[in-house]
Structure 1
Amino acid sequence: MSEAGILRVLYVFPNGDKYDGECCTTSNGMVMRTGFGTQISSSGTTYTGEWNNDKMNGSGMLSHPSGAVYKGQFRDNMYHGRGTYYFPDGTKYSGTFHNNRLEGEGEFTDSEGLVWTGNFYRNAAPGLKLKFNM
């Protein structure tokens, strides 16, 4: 154990998930993911980034087997804060997330490479504007 109480582990969960990274031991003896690490689920979903209180908290990247990728801020295992979500079809959203939802100012790049800016709220984005690059 290091002076700060952080351990480096490689752990395989009973369901086949794997965690390679930092953790700490709580006062009651529980081991919790804390610091930086990578978790690969048995289904192929991979998270690499910061952990706190045994949850994805801070900056990280979550990759899904479908090809979808999220890079940005997490809070309690959810997309929360600034980030970019790359959809499997090549489109992407960059902006603000709130509890796994697109919410606030952002940019959506469509399949033709056109960038739409505005405010997003869950499934709606009224009044988007096309951004011109000149």
Structure 2
Amino acid sequence: MLLRYSLSIFLFLASIQVQATCISGNCYNGKGTYIFKDGSKYGGTFSKGKPHGQGTYYHKDGSVYVGEFRSGMKHGLGKMTFKTKDIYTGYYEQGTISGSGKMTYINGDVYHGEWSSGKFSGKGKYTFADGSVYEGSFANGFFSGTGRLTDVDGSYYDGEWVENKKNGKGITMKNGDLSVTYYKMNVLIKEEGMQSETATNSTTSRCTNKTNNSIFYSIRL
């Protein structure tokens, strides 16, 4: 009998926890606070029973979004603080990061530029915590297209990329020397010397084949 009674109490309490409810205000057309079945919470303006306008959404994993909503989805300008403490400030479209925005990662990396479907896409700038910088084109979350990667010592590669790998023709500057370089998926195929940035009256011409040992950068989303 006691076991049956305890089980009934447990089921009753569980049913309370999963019920979605408006805990304050007008959660249909107006301002209010609403707790969803999964434990997440929204406080802000509503239209026809859905978050619409300005509000704050507390995800059950601890992430918090403050910004604009449309018909129940993040849409417009907002700020998202993820449970990892990474912070995104920028635009959403139909619930997904899209448009221009800035992501600051907890490790010190920063991306500022264009997004599509939650990934880097278009023109942007990625600054690594160590001070090196990539600026140029992105696609599907990768360095893709044309762009320049500048290391902390000032050396750089300015050219073509595919999925974070140098691929195609580019200009490389190292120790003040410029060269035209040709890569295939991060492997240096050919290098042709150019006039040094420090030289004034001399040019060199050379062609070598060797393997590139540059660092492969991994981008997190």
TM-score (norm 2): 0.53
Check conservation: 2:91, 2:101, Cα contact below 8 A: yes
Question: Which of 126, 129, 132 matches 2:171?
Answer: 129
1:29-61 residue CA offsets vs partner (Å, 9 max, x unmatched): xx1000100000111011000110101000000
Residues 1:76 and 2:117 are matched in the alignment: yes
Alpha-carbon shift at residue 6 of structure 1 (Å): 4.8
Aligned partner letter, 2:172: L
Alignment partners' CA distance in 2, 1:123 and 1:107: 12
Residues in 2 aligned to 1:59 and 1:124: alpha-carbon distance in whole angstroms: 24
Whole-Å separation in 1 of the counterparts to 2:164 and 2:82: 28
Which ranges of structure 2 fall in alignment gaps of 5 or more residues? 1-44, 179-196, 199-221
Q: 1:123 to 1:49 in 2, by over 3 A?
A: closer
Please say which structure displays the higher CA radius of gyration: 2
Count of aligned positions: 127
Superposition CA RMSD, Å: 2.1
Q: Structure 1 regions of 5+ residues with no counterpart?
A: 26-30
Displacement over 4 Å in runs of 4+: 131-134
Over the matched positions of the two proteins, sequence identity in percent amounts to 28
Give the secondary-structure state (helix, strand or coil) at the position aligned to 1:65: coil
Which residue does the alignment assign to 1:28? none
Determine which of 53, 67, 89 is the counterpart of 2:94.
53
Higher normalized helix content (fraction of residues): 2
Q: 2:160 and 2:98 mapped to 1: Cα distance?
A: 25
User: Which structure has the higher relative contact order (CA within 8 Å, separation 6+)?
Assistant: 1
SS at match of 1:125: strand
Calculate the TM-score normalised by the size of structure 1.
Answer: 0.86
**TM superposition shift of 1:118:** 0.6
Amino acid at match of 1:128: G
